Amino acid sequence: MEQEEAQQRLLPENDDEGGSIPTDSWNGVYIIFCILGLGSLLPWNFFITAKEYYLFKLRNLTLSVDDIDNPQLQTEMQTMFEGSVAAASMLPNLLFNFFTAGFTQKLPIKGRMVVSCLTILIMFVFTLSLVNINTNSWQMPFYVATLVTVVILSAGSAVFTASMFGLAGIFPPRYMQAAVSGQAVGGLFAAVANLLTLLAGSTPLHSAFAYFMAATVVSLLTLICYILLYCIDYSKFHLDLDVTIQEDGFAESSTDSISQRASSVFHVLRKIWPEGLAVFLTFTVSLSCFPAISSSIISQHKDGSGWTGKYFTVIVCFLLFNLGDCVGRVVGGFLQRPKISQPLLLVIMSFVRVAFIPLLMLCDAQPRTHLPVVFTSDVYPVVFISLLGLTNGYLCTLCMMYGPKKVLLKDAEFAGASMSVCTTVGLALGSLISLLLVKML
């Protein structure tokens, strides 16, 4: 059985060598997958980066604009905003990831990709339209509308991301690496944009307009790039091959019993569980530390200059993590250790990263009442956060590349979507753990 599955994977991996199989000229399809990865995360990254904008919109109107960041003077809506956004995004994200993975063979991938991308685009056009509207007289409706937008946006993003990973699973592994690298570029782009707006001294409204305009443009570009996949010979070959395999599989499964179809699902999950567990552990550890703990770390020279005060968190926490994450995902494309034949080593490496949690908690994260500060120098958070991002990107790339590669072509889309579910569950659990860890400081 193992030999049979390996033989059925040969065609898409050796496609550049076969005379009758198209080639990826100018790496056009690879670039498109990078853009799809960028489009799956960059809009959401810009949404959560616009924190100052929402604090401004929900501010106490009797106070000056300079006081919107003062925790002692915040309104109830300002205080609840971040937690409300996290809650409003987590549940639909989890549900729609499971939904997408469960219905990969029932709902056509083209419909899922186009509808979800259009949903994201419409939500950002709506969000953009509210930026320059005076909402002072209807703050509560604005707050509710924002949370509804978050729910719809999260659902659309979950369907798009899971479908994108399923789509990448149909292609050779380097295209999965392209997708995850594009996601990392999205995080890095958002971190750089945040730093630039701080340096420029932009107002919350101007920054938010730039963020949401960029998110809208990227969402539109993502939709266009996905459509282009059906116009390029190389991608058309793989998409048509997948349709043929799925149709044959559907014809066979129509006579199968429910138990036989369930057996096929469990067979795939049995094949990819080490990679699924490893990517789950990777993101659970990363989200336990980042950004809740890492963004709370202050510089030992916090009163020395703007770079160790105002810009310290933006650079050391967000920029370094996203830069390390991006580098790790690129390196994972050509340096694949452990190998696909060493799944348990991949799980162990992912588990060992738990060490980052106490290391970052013992840095000077404030406020704290229980734990001592062991690592006082700024060098420690710089090194720890850079390595956290680097290992996150590297291990996540290996897991996402290996999973769909271990199953039959007809199951590759389901395997890719299932890996996306593992990622999402890890993100959700890590976020919950971070709330506990902050209380333990």
Per-residue pLDDT of 291-303, as tens digits, reads 889 989 999 887 6
* DSSP state, residue 311: T
Say if residue 379 is in the same domain as residue 272: yes
Q: How many CB atoms lie within 10 A of CB 240?
A: 11
Q: How many CB atoms lie within 10 A of CB 5?
A: 15
C-alpha span between 288 and 307 (Å, rounded): 26
Say if residue 248 is in the same domain as residue 266: no
One digit per residue, the tens of pLDDT, for the chain of length 441 reads 444 444 445 444 444 444 577 899 899 999 999 999 999 989 888 998 898 899 899 988 887 666 666 666 778 898 888 888 988 999 999 999 999 998 887 889 999 999 999 999 999 999 999 999 999 999 999 999 999 999 999 999 999 999 999 999 999 999 999 999 999 999 999 999 988 888 888 888 999 999 999 999 999 999 999 999 999 999 999 888 766 666 555 555 555 555 666 667 888 999 999 999 999 999 999 999 998 899 899 998 876 666 777 788 889 999 999 999 999 999 999 999 999 999 999 999 999 999 999 999 999 999 899 999 999 999 999 999 999 999 999 999 999 999 999 998 888 999 999 999 999 999 999 999 998 999 999
C-alpha span between 418 and 81 (Å, rounded): 31
Say if residue 400 is in the same domain as residue 264: yes
Q: Give the pLDDT confidence score for residue 16 in this predicted structure.
A: 45
Is 18 within the bounds of a domain? Answer: no
Cα 198–201–202 angle (5° rounding)?
95
Q: Give the pLDDT confidence score for residue 221 in this predicted structure.
A: 97
Say if residue 161 is in the same domain as residue 268: no
Q: Give the pLDDT confidence score for residue 215 in this predicted structure.
A: 94
Say if residue 269 is in the same domain as residue 245: no
C-alpha span between 14 and 7 (Å, rounded): 11
How far is residue 221 from each of residues 120, 217, 225, 251, 297, measured CA to CA in Å? 12, 6, 6, 36, 37
How far is residue 67 from each of residues 61, 62, 282, measured CA to CA in Å? 10, 10, 38
**Which of 441, 34, 386 has its CA nearest to residue 226?**
34
SS3 238: helix
pLDDT tens profile 363-387: 999 989 999 999 999 999 999 999 9
**Which of 352, 359, 351 has its CA nearest to residue 383?**
359
Say if residue 43 is in the same domain as residue 150: yes
Say if residue 247 is in the same domain as residue 269: no
Half-sphere CA count of 379, side-chain side, radius 13 A: 1
Q: Give the pLDDT confidence score for residue 440 in this predicted structure.
A: 94
**In contact, 432 and 91? CB cutoff 8 Å:** no
Q: Which of 202, 230, 255 is the last residue in one of the domains? A: 255
Is 12 within the bounds of a domain? Answer: no
C-alpha span between 301 and 304 (Å, rounded): 5
C-alpha span between 184 and 165 (Å, rounded): 14
Q: What is the CATH number of the domain that holds 112?
A: 1.20.1250.20
Say if residue 71 is in the same domain as residue 213: yes
Helices (H), 50-75: 51-57
Q: What is the CATH number of the domain that holds 266?
A: 1.20.1250
How far is residue 380 from each of residues 269, 287, 361, 384, 440, measured CA to CA in Å? 39, 19, 11, 6, 20
Q: Give the pLDDT confidence score for residue 4 in this predicted structure.
A: 44
Burial (CB count within 10 angstroms: exposed 0-12, middle 13-18, buried 19+), residue 295: middle
Say if residue 317 is in the same domain as residue 247: no
Is 361 within the bounds of a domain? Answer: yes
**In contact, 100 and 158? CB cutoff 8 Å:** yes
**Which of 187, 170, 168, 397 has its CA nearest to residue 278?**
397
Q: Give the pLDDT confidence score for residue 75 in this predicted structure.
A: 84
Would you give the distance in Å from CA 417 to the centre of its chain?
13
C-alpha span between 389 and 53 (Å, rounded): 27
Q: Which of 255, 273, 291 is the last residue in one of the domains? A: 255
Q: How many CB atoms lie within 10 A of CB 79?
A: 12
**In contact, 324 and 386? CB cutoff 8 Å:** yes
pLDDT tens profile 170-190: 999 999 999 999 999 999 999
Say if residue 342 is in the same domain as residue 249: no
Q: Give the pLDDT confidence score for residue 15 in this predicted structure.
A: 46
Is 199 within the bounds of a domain? Answer: yes
How far is residue 40 from each of residues 36, 183, 332, measured CA to CA in Å? 6, 7, 20
Say if residue 186 is in the same domain as residue 229: yes
**In contact, 396 and 282? CB cutoff 8 Å:** yes
Tell me the residue range of the domain where 369 lies.
260-441
Q: Give the pLDDT confidence score for residue 265 in this predicted structure.
A: 86
C-alpha span between 53 and 128 (Å, rounded): 12
SS3 120: helix
Q: Name residue, tokens 């968190």.
A: 313
Total domains present in the chain: 2
Q: Give the pLDDT confidence score for residue 249 in this predicted structure.
A: 54
Query: Is the pTM above the cut of 0.75?
Result: yes
pLDDT tens profile 205-239: 999 999 999 999 999 999 999 999 999 999 999 88
How far is residue 350 from each of residues 279, 283, 296, 321, 426, measured CA to CA in Å? 7, 9, 24, 17, 12
Q: How many CB atoms lie within 10 A of CB 132?
A: 10
Is 2 within the bounds of a domain? Answer: no
Q: Which of 221, 255, 289 is the last residue in one of the domains? A: 255
Q: Give the pLDDT confidence score for residue 106 in this predicted structure.
A: 82
Is 5 within the bounds of a domain? Answer: no
**In contact, 387 and 300? CB cutoff 8 Å:** no
Say if residue 243 is in the same domain as residue 308: no
Is 8 within the bounds of a domain? Answer: no
Q: What is the largest CA-CA distance in the chain?
A: 73
Is 103 within the bounds of a domain? Answer: yes
Q: Give the pLDDT confidence score for residue 137 in this predicted structure.
A: 94
Instruction: Output phi, psi for 334, to 5 deg.
Output: -125, -10
